[in-house]
Amino acid sequence: MPSTIDYSQTGSHDYGTFMSVTDLSLCQRPSERAICKSFRKMISAAPPPLGADVSESRIGGSGYRTYYLARVDGVKLEGVDAATVFLGGDTQDAPPAGSLSLYVYARRGSNLIQMTTGVGRCTAPPGPNEEDAAYYRRACTNPTVLARANAAGKRLVELFRLARSRA
C-alpha cells in the first residue's frame, strides 16, 4: 500500500471508521502503482460485478479482503473532482463475507481519499450450497441493508467533511 495519512474521530474506539489520504506521487513501487491505478479505476470505470474482490483497490485497511456488493448513490461528497460510494463485504476468511462496510473513494487533485465505516452484517447467514452472488443479493444488498449503508455514508462524509479547495 502507498503511504497514507490516516484520520479517525478524536476519542473514538471505532477503528472501522477512518479516512486515509495519499498522493499519487507516493505511488512509486509497482505494487503501490497497481493499488493507486485500481483505486482510480473504481472511481472512473463501470462498477465491478457483484462479489468481485476489490481488496487491491484500498489505500487504507489491511489484513482482510473486500468484495464489491453495490453502489450507494445517495451519498455525495462535496469538494472532490470525482468519487464513488459502494457497499463492500469484508472478511478475513474465504467468501462469502458477512461483515459490511461503506467505502467512499474520491480524487481531489492528486490526492486519493478513502473513507470507510461499518454498516453491520448481512441480514441472514448464507444458505447451504447457496452461491455467493445469490447470498449477496438476498441478504447483503436488500433495501434494509442499502438504507443502513446510505445513512452510514451520510454520517461518514459529514464526519470527515473536506475543506473547500482554494482555487
pLDDT tens column, 40-98? 999 999 999 999 999 999 999 888 999 999 999 999 988 899 999 999 999 998 888 77
This prediction's pTM: 0.92
The kind and range of the H/E element at 116 are strand 111-121
Determine the pLDDT at residue 44: 95
Which class for 166: exposed (0-12), middle (13-18), buried (19 or more C-beta within 10 A)? exposed
Coil vs helix vs strand at 90: strand
Better pLDDT: 144 or 12: 144
Which residues touch 132 (CB under 8 Å, ≥6 apart)? 51, 67, 95, 96, 126
